[in-house]
A = this chain, B = another copy of it.
């Protein structure tokens, strides 16, 4: 081979690799992306490991540390251009031994065990437990109207259900979750000694749903538990006839010292703008109950799959694409805050951040929290997604972990899968691997890859 032939070869190689974008129609690239994930996808196997070999991984736990090492290893094995950790101090809350919940002295039933679990970040009752008469309320206004005279020394039952008529279950959740997040401090203002919160689910069953509370400053921290929806209904109906019944619960949870943990980041470095970043992520921590499958193991393995797929298809992005496994979304958001802080410090320009933290179900679309111009641009790609039955590309919310990037003007995008089953499992012992369907998970990963590809190609 002479020099001229070699020059030709180099020319061809440059032409076809650098100009890959101009050579192939978007429709064709998207089809290749979906085919790659549906045929050769590895996110389901990765999820199996994360959920079944590591399991629930609350911030500060040994399992969270194992998940950090595992996800770093997976991304290194894929040969991404960079894989690195970001140190972050995280809260370390532990549940302790299994909670006990009882309705006691009911005229109708005597004493009856109910299904409860401590809310995350809550103080425990210790062995002595907490016992008291019960006041049922459905809103903070009702609580305020009752006032200290009716609440002091008692246990407050927050029993406002999720609204079943909301088609998007996240909307129903949003309309009820202040009871879990702020109920304890609201009730403590009026002298309550504990709170029992109806589980945040659209289902009627016996499974309690944990989740974080936040104690307000300068208000006594009182113990707080979630109760299954069936048991909330039972307690409410017994209360109607018997105002004097009591509720007893025992929790052994406590907040320990902060622990060192990490965000885990894999990167494919951009060919044209290596210091401009597009993030795709989920959170690596999960609640301790269950395996953290839909919340948010799926988001993590899908984010890794986005990079694996680009690499596998030989797509060389113009911008740097990062898969970020955020730490501590569930009870502190320290990883999300740290990532934004370091991005600013390191003068990294972030074009967009896409989070998958709504479960690994069939993709329905994306919610965009950005300028109107950006929303319009992304929505203009709708026709490219319709062959995959993905239609809801519109204004909406990004995700908790990426929200601290908003202050830097980053366009935030939330992956939106079908939401009907999400709150059946959310924050419970049944959020396990078997609840995830391989194809649904893969279709989500493929749709995320497609969106990242288009953002990288066209900018925002």
Contacts and interface: CB of A to CB of B under 8 A. Distances in A.
Interface stretch (A80-88, A162-170, A178-186): A162-170
Contact of A165 (B39, B165, B418, B438): B39
A387 B166 CA distance: 10
A334 interface: no
A42 interface: no
B392 A35 contact: no
B164 A39 contact: yes
Interface string A408-446: 000000000010110010000000000001111001000
A262 interface: no
Interface string A391-403: 1100000000000
Given A164-B439, A362-B420, A421-B440, 10 more contacts: A34-B167, A167-B387, A167-B443, A168-B389, A169-B439, A362-B362, A391-B391, A420-B443, A421-B437, A421-B439
Among A388, A420, A421, A424, max chain B CB count under 10 A is at A420
A117 B229 CA distance: 40
Contacts of A167: 34, 387-389, 443
A202 interface: yes
A203 B438 contact: yes
A238 interface: no
A364 interface: yes
A202 B439 contact: yes
A38 interface: yes
A168 B440 CA distance: 12
A169 B165 CA distance: 29
**4 closest residue pairs by CB, A with B:** A420-B439, A38-B164, A35-B165, A420-B440
Interface of A: 34-35, 38-39, 164-165, 167-169, 202-203, 362, 364, 387-389, 391-392, 418, 420-421, 424, 437-440, 443
B38 A165 contact: yes
Given A165-B39, A167-B34, A420 B391 contact: no
Nearest to A39: B164
A95 to B, nearest CB: 27
Nearest to A437: B421
7 contacts: A34-B165, A203-B438, A364-B389, A420-B437, A420-B440, A420-B443, A421-B440
Contact of A392 (B165, B169, B389, B443): B389
Contacts of A203: 438
Contacts of A202: 439
* Residue from A34, A164, A165, A443 having most chain B Cβ neighbours under 10 A: A164
Contacts of A35: 165
A418 B165 CA distance: 20
A441 to B, nearest CB: 10
A421 B391 CA distance: 20
A168 B388 CA distance: 9
A150 to B, nearest CB: 30
A204 to B, nearest CB: 8
Nearest to A36: B165
Contacts of A392: 389
A427 to B, nearest CB: 18
A94 B362 CA distance: 37
A420 B203 CA distance: 22
Contacts of A362: 362, 418, 420
A262 to B, nearest CB: 34
A175 B164 CA distance: 39
A365 to B, nearest CB: 9
Contact of A418 (B168, B169, B418, B424): B418
Contacts of A438: 203
A422 to B, nearest CB: 10
A379 B439 CA distance: 28
Contacts of A420: 362, 437, 439-440, 443
